[in-house]
Structure formats: structure tokens, C-alpha cells
Chain A
Amino acid sequence: MTSLTDGNKDDYAVEFRSASYRLPAGPSIISGLNLNISAGETLVLLGRSGSGKTTVLKLINRLLEPTEGEVLISGRSSASWDPIELRRGIGYVIQDAGLFPHWTVERNIGLVPKLDRWPKVKIQARVREMLSLVGLPPEQFAERHPSGLSGGQKQRVGVARALAADPPILLMDEPFAALDPITRADLQREFRALAKRLQKTIVFVTHDVREALFVATRIALLSQGRLVGVYAPAEFLKAKEPEIHEFVASLDGGGLPEEAP
């Protein structure tokens, strides 16, 4: 069986080829998207509400399928992947964390390893490793239920769960949007350090231009289902497109947040 890590080295981790998504008898959500995402980069999909960012993410893990064009994962069309196998190789973090409220933190994090039938001892060790990785002491958190966690802690567990089976690709859908500003800044900082260290391909959705500038290696701006442009953060600030200019102008002279590259 092929896996996500077996792809040819020359292949992009994710490649959109004129991909469109339209609702049955409805409007286009995404039209003619061409976008290459290289292995190991953190690509931020930036856009306002309703610009189609989340749809782009779901086209990657095949929660949605393109109505036209195709999406290639490790050089292979998403349509030819078994969706279950594909998703187990792609970490997924969503805004409200989506933790299972009836499971302990430990069981939540061990979800994908368990689905992949890892031995029990190995899962347990991995869960502990992941909890430490996201800054939660295992002995204090493993047995808790999600209802006993703060918003920031839930998101940390969400990230730990997504990384548990060591997927080469990580999708993050506005992971920090619901957090208070201080917690958000903490998590952004830690996330950026983590992303540098882990060398995963990360596709990160946000509507917050500061967050985009802070975590991205490249920023792709979406507007009404179309790709406006893809720039590295420094170039993004100077880009000419009016849609990008609007976002940059919203920074009201603040420029980059501290600790920017």
C-alpha cells in the first residue's frame, strides 16, 4: 500500500489544478484554483468570511471533492486515494478543536494511532510525548475530559491529536480564532516554533492578516473563491493587488507583530 510519504521527491505535497467546487445547482465556492504547496512549508490561506478558505482545506482531505479540475496529494489525484487512508495521513485541527467530549484527553490524542492499530504501549508513549510537545504535563492532563480544559488547552490537545500519527501534512482551520488575544499570541508563538522544528507541510486558514504574516512561509489570498495572489510575508506587504492592499491597510500602521522575521 502506498502512503503519503512515498511520493516522488519532485512532487508537490499538495497541488490544485484548475480545481473548482460548486454546490449542486448553486454558486461556485471555489473557481479555477491553481496552487502548489511544497513539502515542509507553512502556507496560509487568508481571506474574509465566505472567501472559500475552509472549502480549499476540505478539498485536500477529501471531505469535499472538486466538481472540476483536480487536487493532487503527493502527486496523486485525491480521487484515486482511499479517503479514509488519505485522511489518516493528514492531521486536521479545527476552530472549536472538535475534541470528543466523552473521551479523555489521552484517548482523544490516541485516536488516529488507535485507528491505525498501533500497539497499546506505543500509543500510550506517543500520547505522553505529544502532550509534552504542546506544553501540557501528561500526568496532569491525560485523564481529564475536554470539558475540564480552557479554550487554549483544548486547542493544544487538538494540535496534539492531529500530530499523533505523525502525518506529513497538517491542515489547520482557524485554530486560534476563538481564543482570547493573550492565549492566541502564546499559541501562535509556540506554533511557529513547532512548525519550524517539525518540517511538516502545513496549510493554515485564517482571516487574521497579522496571524498570517506571523506564521506563514507563504500567504495565499482568496477572495470570492478565487486566488488573488501568493506571496512570502515580506512581499505580501508590498503587493499591488487591491484585495491584498485592503488587508495590509487594515494593519493600521502596526506593521508586523513583534518577533516577526
Chain B
Amino acid sequence: MNWYEFLVQNRGEVWARSVEHIGLVAASMGIALAIGLPLGIAIVRRTVLRRWVIGTANVVQTIPSLALFGFLIPVPWIGGVGASTAIFALALYALLPILSNTSTGIAEVDPAVVEAARGMGMTPQQVLWQVQLPLAAPVLLAGIRVATVLCIGIATIAAAIGAGGLGVFIFRGVAMVNNSVILAGAIPAAFLAIAADVALGIFERRVARK
């Protein structure tokens, strides 16, 4: 039986795992955005803090994902076997691209424009929402796109700690030494990543053109 036949025969489970996979990514991206956007904005002007925050996020990024999942299992509250640990770990990975793109995107807005905005009597909030964020939007969205694609990939490993998702097929296939089963997980996961990349890329270009 090749991978395609396996996929069609088990389409119910493939579908359920895909939904699970998307759920993991959506939840972790939600957390990463809720933390990364405000934090990225807050550190724009604080150079020392910015170096520390981005440095820390960089270090997290270098931890192999399987190891990070493993580390988190014994941690109280967030740890344990299951989806919540995986979501926490994925959010950590997504944080770096969101943080760094948010803060560099805003920092790179033409200083003359920001100065004009302040000089004309816009409040700091108005400068942020009406000038800095719209002008930083393409860079910011690029960060979100990178983070999403990264999360979709790493989420396959979350199956190792019982979080479900398309990785379940991959680990099962490895255990069974059955390529068809591995591919039934790997190919939909790759498809999800490409689809997210293309869709967010289109959105990014539409925003940039404005």
C-alpha cells in the first residue's frame, strides 16, 4: 500500500490529526502574538532591554525542539504530557521572529515621519497606531509568517509528548518501519506549511502595496 492509498483509507484520522495540528499552531501563535507584539513594541526604544529580550529569545530558538518538549514535561503548571506543554513550547519558538520583526519594523520607520507626527501634536498612542504600526506592517507580517511556518514544522514533533497532530503518523510510521504511514503525516504537514506561507505572503504583499 503506498502513502496515497493509506491516506485515502484513513482520511478520517488524517483529517482529525490535521485539525489537531492546526489547533496546536493556532493556540501557540495566539499566545506568541499576545506576548510578542506588545513586548516588541515596548522594547523598540529601550536598547539594552531589547538586546536582552532578543538575546533570550535567540537562545530559546537554539534549543532542539525535542529537548525543549522534554525539558518542559516536569515543569509544574505548564508541563506534563499533552497539548498544553506543546503549545507552550511552540509559542516560545514563535516568539523570536515576532519580537524581532515587530521591534525592528517599528525602529526602521523613517525618523523624519515619526518626528513630524510628534511635532504636529499626535499623542504617543496616535503615533503608534496611525503611523508606526501601519508603516511597520509588512515587516511585522513577515515575522508572523516565518513564525507560523516554523510552528507548523515543529508541531509535528509535539506528537512525541502526546500532543497529537500530524506527527502521530510520523512517529507511528517510524515505529512500524512503514514509509507510507510516515508520509501520510509528513506530506499533509508540508502542505499546511506551504499553504500558510503562500496565503500569508499574499496578505503581506497586499498590505505592503497600500
Q: Which residues of A contact B (CB under 8 A)?
A: 61, 63, 84-90, 92, 94-102, 111-112, 115, 161-162, 171
Chain B contact surface mostly:
helix
Contact with A along B123-165 (1 / 0, CB 8 A): 1001000110011000000000000000000000000000000
Q: How far is the CA of A111 from the CA of B134 in the complex (A)?
A: 16
Using A95-B112, A98-B112 as known contacts, say yes or no to A87 and B118 having CB atoms under 8 A apart: yes
Contact A112 B115 (CB under 8 A): no
Contact A94 B112 (CB under 8 A): yes
Q: Which residue of A lies closest to B137 (CB)?
A: A102
Minimum C-beta distance from A177 to chain B (A):
13
Chain A neighbourhood of B126, CB < 8 A: 115
Q: How far is the CA of A95 from the CA of B111 in the complex (A)?
A: 12
Q: How many residues of B contact A (CB 8 A)?
A: 18
Q: How far is the CA of A85 from the CA of B121 in the complex (A)?
A: 7
Contact B115 A94 (CB under 8 A): yes
Instruction: Name 23 A/B residue pairs within 8 A (Cβ), A-sorted.
Output: A63-B119, A84-B123, A86-B121, A87-B118, A88-B120, A88-B121, A90-B121, A92-B116, A94-B112, A94-B116, A97-B116, A98-B110, A98-B113, A98-B117, A99-B113, A99-B116, A102-B134, A112-B121, A115-B121, A115-B122, A115-B126, A162-B120, A171-B119
- Tell me whether B46 is interfacial, beta carbon within 8 Å: no
Contact A98 B121 (CB under 8 A): no
Using A101-B135, A102-B134, A115-B126 as known contacts, say yes or no to A92 and B113 having CB atoms under 8 A apart: no
Minimum C-beta distance from A179 to chain B (A):
15
Minimum C-beta distance from A227 to chain B (A):
23
Chain B neighbourhood of A171, CB < 8 A: 119
Contact A112 B120 (CB under 8 A): yes
- Tell me whether B210 is interfacial, beta carbon within 8 Å: yes
Chain A neighbourhood of B210, CB < 8 A: 102
Q: How far is the CA of A89 from the CA of B116 in the complex (A)?
A: 14
Contact B135 A98 (CB under 8 A): no
Minimum C-beta distance from B106 to chain A (A):
14
Q: How far is the CA of A63 from the CA of B117 in the complex (A)?
A: 11
Q: How far is the CA of A97 from the CA of B113 in the complex (A)?
A: 8
Minimum C-beta distance from A155 to chain B (A):
12
Using A94-B112, A96-B112, A115-B126 as known contacts, say yes or no to A102 and B135 having CB atoms under 8 A apart: yes
Q: How far is the CA of A87 from the CA of B118 in the complex (A)?
A: 8
Minimum C-beta distance from B48 to chain A (A):
15
Chain B neighbourhood of A87, CB < 8 A: 118-121
